Amino acid sequence: MVSVYFLSLGRKKRGVCALAVANFSDFREERIREYLSDSELDRLRSIQLEKRQREYVLGRLTTKMALASLTNNLKFRDVSVLNEASGSPVIRAPLDHGDYGTSIAHTDEIVVSLVFQREFSFGIDIENLGRKSRSALKYIARGGETIPEDSESSMVAWTLKESLGKALKCGLRCPEELVLAQLQRKDSVFFCSYRKHPEFGGIARIYGNYSLAITYPLG
């Protein structure tokens, strides 16, 4: 079952965001036509890998579930979650459903989407803590950036960087923009600021084997 949570992030509470979380078990091939628009169905037909098809479909479903929790009477087939040339997702919805943006991430069989007012920029990422090592983080570290000693914190740092890259719409292609200024841990929650982007804050939380990070606009 897709779960939806409401979040309020940022000093001035930049509106309420909605976070939706799905698992591959939520994928129902026979129901795809109920919630994908024609343009999304076209795009789906061009995807060969079954895992990627599921990620694509569930990314659209979670975004629409989150959007439906923030607006009234949303007809899922009237909404398209498309990708710009950079890969950044964009919501095309009827005007009376407001102006919202989304950020999407998938790992293993989990898909998450964050929906927020489009005048602000957010980014989300989720990673399996066992997947990447400190050496991967070193690859995208810049400017003498400190690499955390333990693999859990370095994976969290990676997840935070990727969430900033999504908020900036450059993904990991702009590593020089993604330098962490501070990474602080309190139990299973991490907080960070970004050296070149003081307008954003980052928060990450460890859930079992996963790190979930969100970059959000500050004050």
Ligand X SMILES: CC(C)(COP(=O)(O)OP(=O)(O)OC[C@H]1O[C@@H](n2cnc3c(N)ncnc32)[C@H](O)[C@@H]1OP(=O)(O)O)[C@@H](O)C(=O)NCCC(=O)NCCS
> Which residues form the interface with ligand X (CB under 6 A)?
55-56, 59, 83, 86-89, 104-106, 125, 139-140, 162, 165-166, 169-173
Other CB atoms within 10 Å distance of the CB of residue 81: 26
- Is the Cβ of residue 9 or residue 114 nearer to ligand X in the bound state? 114
Tell me which DSSP letter residue 218 carries: -
What backbone torsions phi and psi does residue 167 show, to the nearest 5 degrees? -60, -35
What backbone torsions phi and psi does residue 35 show, to the nearest 5 degrees? -130, -5
- Is the Cβ of residue 102 or residue 153 nearer to ligand X in the bound state? 102
- Minimum CB separation from ligand X for residue 88, in Å? 4
- Is the Cβ of residue 77 or residue 131 nearer to ligand X in the bound state? 131
- Minimum CB separation from ligand X for residue 57, in Å? 9
- Is the Cβ of residue 98 or residue 171 nearer to ligand X in the bound state? 171
- Minimum CB separation from ligand X for residue 72, in Å? 25
- Minimum CB separation from ligand X for residue 137, in Å? 10
What backbone torsions phi and psi does residue 148 show, to the nearest 5 degrees? -55, 145
Residue 93, both tokens: 């919805």
Position closest to ligand X via CB: 171
Task: Report which of 166, 162, 160 is spatially closest to residue 122, judged by C-alpha positions.
Answer: 166
Q: What's the rounded Cα separation, in Å, for the pair 152 and 74? A: 39
